[in-house]
Structure 1
Amino acid sequence: MVPAGKLIIIGGAVDKGSFSESNFEKEVEKNLNFFETGILKKLIKESRLKEDSRIEVITTASKIPRIVGPEYLKAFEYLGATNVDVLHIETREQAMHVSVTERIKKADVVLFTGGDQLRLTSILGGTEMHDMMLAKYQNEDFIYAGTSAGAAAASSSMIYQGSSSEALLKGEIKITSGLGFIDDVVIDTHFVHRGRIGRLFQAVVSNPRTLGIGLGEDTGLLITNGNMMEAIGSGLVILVDGRQIKDTNITQVPMGAPISIKNLIAHVMSHNDVYDLAQRELTIMDDIIAFNEAEDE
């Protein structure tokens, strides 16, 4: 079944400036790279009612929710979206409250902030709120958006632990079930800055059907129809495809030993590039734009 909704997953470390600073208006060019690269603008544009869409910012993953929430309110207000509120959910008991499900029922967009993705799955997983979001994504013009932890938790399989420096040692990467909005992918965030390519390699070699998605900082994917992925933002998206792997020693070596992989395929996406998850095909959009311009001359 093709979902009616959309996903927007963001790599984290977004440069949105500090909206708690009194002088941010005077330094818009410095502070608003987040908007200039179009991620939040894209979210508003793709939402059902645009600037009038009901947006719930959910801070469950964060250790500083009372600081993070107001920052997003100011960011959205700056972009003209004022029907926005923050939903603080810190326990499963809170997640199960009828007031929470009523707010999710009315939402056009939910945006999960960064933090710890295991908090998201352990607090929200299997609640009525979780089920309602999944149903809205399948049947309505609804957006699930997440940055950092919120992005990592979007898929059915989720990386929740693993050292970047030791990522290609067997057993260093820990994977559990995510929130289940998209299958057959695993998402890692803060990808470029924290050097996490090895984490994706091990996640993919463990099950080559899974496509590894590495989101750079201030970079994301807009996913429509459940499989069309468009790169948004200022940085890079790394895709790791394991279907053509010819050999690996992962089942032979002991825990903690280095892993070898033969014929692992990687792609690099930048702004506007499109990847068809169903066909496993990357289209570099600048090539198409250049071709069309040449045809018009």
Structure 2
Amino acid sequence: MVPKGKLLIIGGAVDLGSSLNYNKNISHPHYVKFFELGILKRIIRESAKAENSVIEVITTASKIPEIVGEEYINSFKQLQVNNVNVMDIRSRADAMTPEYLERIAKADVVMFTGGYQLRLSSIFGGTPFLQLLKKRYHEDNFLIAGTSAGAAAASTNMIYRGSSSEALIKGEVQITAGLGFIDSVIVDTHFVQRGRIGRLFYAVASNPGMLGIGLGEDAGLLITDGNCLEAIGSGLTILVDGRFISETSIYEVEIGSPVSIGGLKVHVMSIFDKYDLEKHELTIQKTIKVEEGVFLKVKNEDN
């Protein structure tokens, strides 16, 4: 079943246009202030009611939900969106509250913030709350967005643990069930900045039928029709395709041993590039210009 809704996953450190994230702890030197025409703005543009949308921010993954929730309210207000609410869900009991189900039924956008993705899967898994989210995503013009932990948890399979430096040691990367909004992919976040390529290599080697998606900071993918992936934001997205793996030792070596992998295929996506998840085809947007710190798409000369 092709979803009628849209899914937008973000690698973390999204520019909120505010004091919390703007120009602070930015890892790469070419970062630009990407607020007005950036990721949050794209969320509004893709929503059914634009600035009149009802947005519910879910802070469950965060250890500082009050601060994070207020930050998103203020950031969306700067974009003239005033109907933004926070769902401070901290337990499975909270997730089963009728009030929250009613609010999800009326929302146009749901935004999962960052934090720890295992909190999301363990609190929402098997609840009517998650069932309603999936129903609305498949049947309505409804947008689900997630950043950092919220993005990592969006897929059916989810990385929840594993150091970057020892990721290719058997047993170091831990995978469990995610929220299940999209199948046949596995997502990692803060990807370029935290050197997590090994985690994604390992995850894909353990199941080559999954496409590995590594989202850099202030980078995201807008997923429409269930299989059309468009790169957004100022960062980079790395795709790891395991379908052509020729050989791997992952199923033979002992726990604690290094893993070998041959034949991985890797793509790099930047803003406006598209990937067809069904055909496994990448389309690169060749012509992009920057005006006053904003990326603009120019029609490809060969189109």
Q: Indicate yes or no: 2:153 matched with 1:153.
A: yes
Question: Percentage identity across aligned positions?
Answer: 62
Kept in 1: contact 2:287–2:298 (CA 8 A): yes
Distance in 2, matches of 1:290 and 1:54, equals: 32
Q: Partner of 1:35: helix, strand, or coil?
A: coil
Q: Structure 1 53/36 Cα, relative in aligned 2: closer, same or farther at 3 Å? A: closer
Deviation, structure 1 residue 38: 1.0
Does the aligned pair in 2 maintain the 1:19–1:75 contact within 8 Å? no
Which whole-Å CA distance do the structure 1 matches of 2:287 and 2:75 have between them?
34
Provide the rounded CA distance (Å) in 2 between the counterparts of 1:185 and 1:246. 20
Whole-Å separation in 2 of the counterparts to 1:237 and 1:292? 20
Kept after mapping to 2: 8 A contact 1:8/1:144:
yes
Provide the secondary structure at the position in 2 that maps to 1:266.
strand
* 1:39 pairs with 2:39: yes
Give 1:16 deviation, angstroms.
Answer: 2.5
> 1:191–1:217: 8 Å Cα contact kept in structure 2?
yes
Distance, in Å, in 1 between the alignment partners of 2:128 and 2:194 is: 35
Change (3 A) 1:190 1:221: same
Aligned to 1:210: 210
Which residue type is aligned with residue 281 of structure 1? E
Report the equivalent of 2:26.
none
Q: Which residue is equivalent to 1:229?
A: 229
Partner secondary structure for residue 235 of structure 1 = coil
Amino acid at match of 1:174: Q
Q: Is 1:101–1:129's contact at 8 Å kept on the other side of the alignment?
A: yes
Give 1:294 shift.
6.8
Residue of structure 1 in register with 2:292 after alignment: none
Whole-Å separation in 2 of the counterparts to 1:68 and 1:290:
35
Distance 1:291 1:125, change over 3 A: closer
Retained in 2: the 8 A contact 1:156–1:179? yes
Say if 1:248 and 1:286 are closer, same or farther in 2 by CA, change over 3 A.
same
Q: In structure 2, the residue corresponding to 1:74 is in which secondary structure?
A: helix
Residue aligned with 1:90, SS: coil
- Give the C-alpha shift of residue 15 in structure 1: 3.0
Partner of 2:199: 199
Using structure 1 for the length normalisation, give the TM-score.
0.92
- d(CA) in 2 for partners of 1:290 and 1:104? 37
**Residue 284 of structure 1 corresponds to which residue in structure 2?**
284
User: Could you tell me which residue of structure 2 aligns to residue 115 of structure 1?
Assistant: 115
**Is the CA contact 1:58–1:89 (under 8 Å) kept in the aligned structure 2?**
yes
> Which whole-Å CA distance do the structure 2 matches of 1:78 and 1:140 have between them?
27
Residues 16 and 40 of structure 2 are in contact (CA less than 8 Å); yes or no, is this contact kept in structure 1? no
- Whether 2:139 is the aligned partner of 1:100: answer no
Q: Distance in 2 between matches of 1:37 and 1:232?
A: 10
Q: Determine whether 1:11 maps to 2:25.
A: no
Q: What whole-Å deviation, never above 9, does each CA across 1:72-130 have from its counterpart, x for those lacking one?
A: 00000000111111111001101101001000000110000000000001111111110
Kept after mapping to 2: 8 A contact 1:15/1:32: no
The answer for unaligned runs of 5 or more in structure 2 is 22-30, 289-296
Task: State the number of aligned residues.
Answer: 286
| Code of the aligned partner of 1:228 | C
RMSD: 1.9
**Partner residue, 1:165:** 165
**Separation in structure 2 between the aligned mates of residue 208 and residue 217 of structure 1, nearest angstrom:** 25
Distance 1:261 1:116, change over 3 A: same
Q: Residue 19 of structure 1 contacts residue 71 of structure 1 at CA under 8 Å; is this kept in 2?
A: no
2:57/2:86 contact within 8 Å kept? yes
What is the distance in 1 between the residues matched to 2:171 and 2:85? 40
- For structure 1, the 5+ residue unaligned runs are 22-30
Q: Aligned to 2:119, what secondary structure does the other structure show? A: helix
Q: Distance in 1 between matches of 2:70 and 2:275?
A: 34
Amino acid at match of 2:195: G
Q: Secondary structure at the match of 1:89?
A: coil
More helix by share: 1
Taking a change above 3 Å as real, the CA distance of residues 82 and 157 of structure 1, as seen in their structure-2 partners, is same
TM-score if structure 2 supplies the norm length? 0.91
